[in-house]
Amino acid sequence: MARTALKWILGLILTVIGFFFTGVVVVFYILGRNTMGGLISAIVIGSIGYIPGLILIILALVDGAHNVFDLRISKLLEEHDRITPTDLAEKARSREDKIEASVSRIIEKGLIIVYFDKATGEFVTQEGRAIAERIMGIIISKRRVTLQLLCDETGMTEDEVKRIVIGMEKRGLFDGTYDWQSGKILSREGTTQLTVAKTSCPHCGAHLTEPPLPGEEIKCNYCGKIITG
């Protein structure tokens, strides 16, 4: 922003000085107080001012257009947390090369913190990264969670949570298991513990569709008694 303003100021100053100097000489030439050679010299000297000035003004206009576009892209990134360049280009109704150039400028300007996740091919904002780490923290601490619980904890949709879990798996940051049909997600520890968990109720012998992990308590659907893993 500051650089753009500086270009505007310098551009206007140089342009005004250049045209003013040339204009004065033109007036003197019209009044017959200057020669053709003097007029040409004045135009050349004046162009040293107004040509760079006009270039700076044009560059300032380009910067202004970039700033407006970058703010728009920043808003889209903040709204989606994680998004591929293709999807971002579609939402911005622009080309991918323009999107990538804009994200580079956004990072340079420090408008928002964003990085490119090579494993998933997505742009990820700082907030998106924090949410992903939070989701992983919940899964690891609870060992077994439902998709609905993660949605309630983070305020995200099921599709967004799924994308984060799959993305973390591709990056090697999640090595548990998930079943989207049942909406259950287990950490690596939970997956291991599930293989040795009780599969039948110790009180009535009924089969447990969801065996309790160590430290968990569930209620038997048949006899109603509490079973501790």
Q: Which residue has the higher pLDDT, 174 or 170?
A: 174
Task: Please provide the average confidence, as pLDDT, over all residues in the chain.
Answer: 78
Overall average pLDDT of the 46-54 stretch: 69
Q: Which of 21-35, 60-74, 103-117, 145-159 has the lowest mean pLDDT?
A: 21-35
Tell whether 163 and 225 lie within a shared domain. no
What distance, in Å, lies between the first and last C-alpha atoms of the chain? 60
pLDDT, one tens digit per residue, over 93-121 is 888 888 888 888 887 776 676 777 777 78
Q: Is residue 119 part of a domain?
A: no
Tell whether 163 and 81 lie within a shared domain. no
Q: How confident is the model at residue 41 (pLDDT cuts 50, 70, 90)?
A: low
Q: Which of 5-14, 125-134, 183-192, 211-220 has the lowest mean pLDDT?
A: 5-14
Distance CA 92, CA 90 (A): 5
Q: Report the b/e string of 97-131 with b at 16+ CB within 10 A.
A: eebeebbebbeeeebbebeebeebebbbbeebbeb
DSSP 173: S
pLDDT at 1: 55
Neighbours of 132 (CB within 10 A): 24
Q: Which structural domain range is residue 187 located in? A: 144-193
Q: How confident is the model at residue 8 (pLDDT cuts 50, 70, 90)?
A: low
pLDDT, one tens digit per residue, over 134-169 is 888 999 888 888 899 898 888 878 887 887 888 778
Q: Is residue 188 part of a domain?
A: yes
Q: Is residue 130 part of a domain?
A: no
pTM: 0.51
Q: Is residue 13 part of a domain?
A: yes
Q: Count of domains in the chain?
A: 3
Distance CA 115, CA 83 (A): 11
pLDDT at 185: 92
Tell whether 157 and 62 lie within a shared domain. no
Which SS3 state, helix, strand or coil, does residue 204 take? coil
Tell whether 12 and 105 lie within a shared domain. yes
Q: Is residue 122 part of a domain?
A: no
Which SS3 state, helix, strand or coil, does residue 205 take? coil
Tell whether 171 and 95 lie within a shared domain. no
Overall average pLDDT of the 72-94 stretch: 85
Q: Is residue 34 part of a domain?
A: yes
Q: Which of 32-46, 63-77, 192-206, 207-221 has the lowest mean pLDDT?
A: 32-46
Partners of 225 in the beta sheet?
none
Residues with Cβ within 8 Å of residue 215, at least 6 apart in sequence:
228, 229
pLDDT at 24: 67
Q: Which residue has the higher pLDDT, 102 or 24?
A: 102
Q: Is residue 39 part of a domain?
A: yes
Distance CA 99, CA 90 (A): 10
Tell whether 73 and 149 lie within a shared domain. no
Q: Is residue 227 part of a domain?
A: yes
Residues with Cβ within 8 Å of residue 29, at least 6 apart in sequence:
35, 36, 38, 39
Do the strands 184-186 and 217-219 form a parallel or antiparallel pair, or are they unpaired? Answer: unpaired
Tell whether 187 and 206 lie within a shared domain. no
Tell whether 69 and 103 lie within a shared domain. yes
Tell whether 9 and 31 lie within a shared domain. yes
Domain end, chosen from 90, 112, 134, is at 112
Tell whether 23 and 84 lie within a shared domain. yes
Statement: residue 7 has pLDDT above 60:
yes
Q: How confident is the model at residue 45 (pLDDT cuts 50, 70, 90)?
A: low
Residue 31 sits at φ, ψ, to 5 deg, of: -80, 0
pLDDT at 13: 74
| DSSP codes joined into one string, 76-121 | HHHHHSEE-HHHHHHHHTS-HHHHHHHHHHHHHHTSS-EEEETTTT
Tell whether 97 and 61 lie within a shared domain. yes
Tell whether 173 and 218 lie within a shared domain. no
pLDDT at 129: 75
